[in-house]
Structure 1
Amino acid sequence: MSKKNAIFFSCNERFIFTLSVALLSLKKYNQELLKNTDVLVYYQGFTQADKDFLNRILPCKFTEYHFAVETDFNNINFKHFTQLTFARYEIFDLLDTYRKVLYIDVDVMIGGDLSYIFNNFGDKSGVAMCKDTQKGLTLITKNFVKPLPQYDMTVPCYNAGVTLFCDNIPHRRELRMWCYHKTAEWLENLVCPDQGVVNVMFQEFGIQVEVLPDICNCLPSNPKYLDKNRHDVLIYHCAGGGVRFWTYTWNSLWQPFYQEYLAMGGKPHTDKEHAWLKWIKKFNLQRWAFFDRSPDPQMHPARFIKYVLAYPFKYWFK
């Protein structure tokens, strides 16, 4: 019997609302895929009621997560990112059970059929990721306070927010614990902790990365992210903190899923909204297409001016 595929999320109680949006959007566009693909959720802090709620959206297989080695859990890298960012290391052992596992961060919205990723990537090298272009920093040195002299810091960085791991990845049985031990060893030197470790792992074990197109992990730095004419983006990922779907600006793609979550009895998020989003909601400006995904003029004034100048030509005079 051939092995199934899986989609992997990790989440704590604070981000149940955005995991719910991810699951609702996954369900909308992936009915056929989900017939033979397990949804795995590694968690900390969930109650049984939380798990029951998420299962109402999609049947999930839940596993309580524990960091695999002793380390300093008061370190800033655990306070800022939480232990759950390292749950992806568990995927290497899960490949005993699954043929391919697609790791997806929870601060995402699914926009299309993810079968494209499973069907077209991973068979050659065992791993597929998008290149990282956040803030114009494209090399793996961005993940470290100080460069690691034993590795080449000038190679491209791959964004860990969406990663396809396959059971043919070289040295698979060594990878899980190597990642845990290096995380503990390098903890004070890590900026993007899991991403730094995984990118160096490729060098250590001579693993080639198949490059996913940017529609598979569309980041806020990507022009496609705010382009209302795009209908091919498979995963929108609000990596970068400030440009979150729920706090930055009105996003007409994300809002219906969030409203569906609330209608199911989900708790509203408690994150502070930008003044720009508050203003849009206060005056019901979201009814005008201009304000949908409009850049925050206070946080990104240059981006907003460019948006204002380009808007008539891009969306009115089509």
Structure 2
Amino acid sequence: MRRSITKFDHRTLLYRCPICHEALELVQASLQCVNRHTFNISAKGLVSLLRGENGNSNLYDRNFFEHRSAVFSAGMYEHVAEAYCDAVRTALSSSHKFSAQTSHEPQEQSSRVVDAGCGEGYYIRRLLSSEEQQHTSQTLSTNLIAIDLSKDAISLAAIGGGDIEWVVSDLARIPLLDHTVDCITNVFSPANYAEFDRILRPSGRLIKIIPGPHHVMELRNAIVKAGLRGDSQYSNQQVLSGINEHMHIVSTTRVSATTAVDSALLKDFMAMTPVMFHINHDDLDLSTIDAITVEADVIVATR
């Protein structure tokens, strides 16, 4: 059987049926529960575990993710990706030390990392590349699972196959069993902290990456100058309150870089940043914008 299928076969069950909440197991080329609810795995190595909802939106469509891929390819988020990989490695190390101290049961050979709201998979692919550099065997030491509601995003992400398990699903009903995940990442994406708390193991870690105060300040200032918004300041207070309601923040690290942009790259960037949602590009004076700042706060939290 092809690797695009067998990668969904877990010794300790992971997936949960979105209909009846029973465990899903790999049966031939599908995930199936005891009640015979069946979800086919595509040849590209993706599975939809939605309950019939529309998996695309008007804002986050294929065009949006293609522009975002162009921005990522230009290296504008390189520093964020490096911080992401560093944070995951540190989180897994801390998680394993905690598990060894608090449990007498045999530890699993592989860790499990879930990228919740993965988009086209930029960050988790960077993590996969980092893992492959450290492990020369075909079996990696970490199971990587990537979840997004957008079918367009997951379809783009799954191009080329690989070891990542691509899943179309709603973060409001994550199709994973309770306490089965070592690390959740959530990068510039909506979150569901109650669900994150449910699927994390007792020693698990959440890595939440959010915009820093100077993120995309060039565009935000241009919007205010045009009179389209009253304030260019960005507040993360609501996000921090949401995390603190369910988890405990243990560290925050800020990374920032300003990258020169030409007209083509600026156009790609404006097409993919939520800052520009519902803003008419023609209303802005872009003549003085020749660089864009990408700033992020990397938050690590525990259950």
TM-score (normalizing by structure 2): 0.32
Specify which structure has the higher proportion of helix: 1
Specify which structure has the higher proportion of strand: 2
